[in-house]
Amino acid sequence: YFLPTDYWAGNQLIIPGRGSEEMLLATQANVPKPATGGPYPWVTASLTYFSCIPRQNAAGEGFLAIAADGTRYWFDWQSAYYESSLKKGNGTLSRRRVILSATRVEDRFGNWVTYTYTNASNGPARLASIQSSDSRVITVAYNAQGHVSTVTANNRSWTYQYQYPTASTGSLTAVVLPDSSRWSINFAALADSKFRYHVILASEE
């Protein structure tokens, strides 16, 4: 019942501040490529090139991305998220979105940041720490429900508080800052919201 275009729109590169870019096959011989490394079978419109590297927590390959400014990204830690099922005719298709998160980012001067995760390859990403080449470290702890409970940096901690009306749903209610001040948040109305999508099909006579 389902065509590949029903459930997959290709690989996407998502970097904060740059939005989302499609990863395209780098088949044009006249497009400039990095002078070393490779091969580079993928490229984006902004000339970010990708070579293949092993994944750290799953079989298969990840990507080493090299941006036009020389910044390198190691996308080699897998996580997965369940998406809503698709229905078409008498068929139902279950879906998962697979993410390859960056474990290291390094600029052209050698400054770097590393990201450590603890999740299994078939579960949501769980970031445990961030460390930089100037020795700064951020650590993240989680509660029993799998939500962030504290974030600690430079011996200062931010504490996250939640309300759990049921065992399977919860919403963030407050963040306690290192100076004991707090941000109050009311996301309860969004915690278990549902969306319905209606598709209108056009026909040709």
What is the full DSSP assignment across the chain?
---HHHH----EEEETTTEEEE-EE---TTS---SSS----EE-TT--EEEEEE-SSSSSEEEEEE-TTS-EEEEEEEEEEEEEEEEETTEEEEEEEEEEEEEEEE-TTS-EEEEEE---TTS---EEEEEETTS-EEEEEE-TTSSEEEEEETTEEEEEEEE-SSSS--EEEEEE-TTS-EEE---HHHHT------PPPP---
Top-confidence residue, 23 or 196 = 23
- Report whether pLDDT(200) > 60: no
135-157: average pLDDT: 95
Lowest mean pLDDT among 68-72, 138-142, 201-205: 201-205
Q: What is the pLDDT of residues 86-135, one digit of tens each?
A: 888 888 999 899 999 999 999 999 999 999 999 999 999 999 999 999 99
pTM of the model: 0.84
Q: What is the pLDDT of residue 27?
A: 75
Span 166-189, pLDDT tens digits: 766 778 999 999 999 999 988 777
Residue 205 pLDDT > 50, yes or no? no
Lowest mean pLDDT among 13-22, 44-53, 72-81, 104-113: 13-22
pLDDT tens-digit series, residues 65-83: 999 999 999 999 999 999 8
